[in-house]
Structures are given as structure tokens and as C-alpha cells.
Amino acid sequence: MALGWRDYVAGDFEQAAQRFRRILDLTPESHREAERLLLAAKRTTLPLRAADALHLALAIQAGARGIVTFDLRMARAAVLAGSLEIHPAL
């Protein structure tokens, strides 16, 4: 059976994580993308935390199509990033 982000939301984290988990290295490019996101957020009223910027930068760098998050601030930042779908976990 194919698992998707809804499996995570439904509480089947372990199975969904096995399918979607990928370990990425923080690279200079990751840091530059995070910096770009932080600078873009500064031009708006959206406060973006550095850790969230790194998570979003890694998702973008990995070619993720979207993120699942309980964090509304991070979801708004992902919208600002422009290349990620948001799947609210609430």
C-alpha cells in the first residue's frame, strides 16, 4: 500500500518516515539558501526562525514538493519560499 503525507498526519509516523526520510548534509549552498529565505522574510512581516530557514532550505535543495508541519509560522515561510506545497498537520 502506498503511503503519503496523510499517513503521517493520521499518526502512522513510522511507516511514513521510512518512505520519506532522507538524511541531508548541511552544505554552504544550504546555508546560502537559508540566508536568502531569512532576508526575504525580513522584507515582510513574517518572522522566520533560523532553524526553520535551514529546514526549508534543505527541503528545497532536496527537491521536496511540500512539507507537513504543525507550525503555522513555518507553513507561512514555506509559502514565502514559493516552491513548496503546504500540508497542515492540524
Q: Which of 51-60, 65-74, 81-90 has the highest mean pLDDT?
A: 51-60
Model pTM score: 0.70
**How many residues can be counted in the chain?**
90
- Residue 32 half-sphere exposure, CB side, CA atoms within 13 Å? 4
Q: Report the alpha-carbon distance of residue 48 to residue 74 in Å, rounded.
A: 7
pLDDT tens digit sequence for 9-64 = 555 656 666 776 677 888 999 999 999 989 988 888 777 889 999 989 998 888 88
Sign of CA dihedral 53, 55, 58, 59: negative
pLDDT at position 35, please?
A: 94
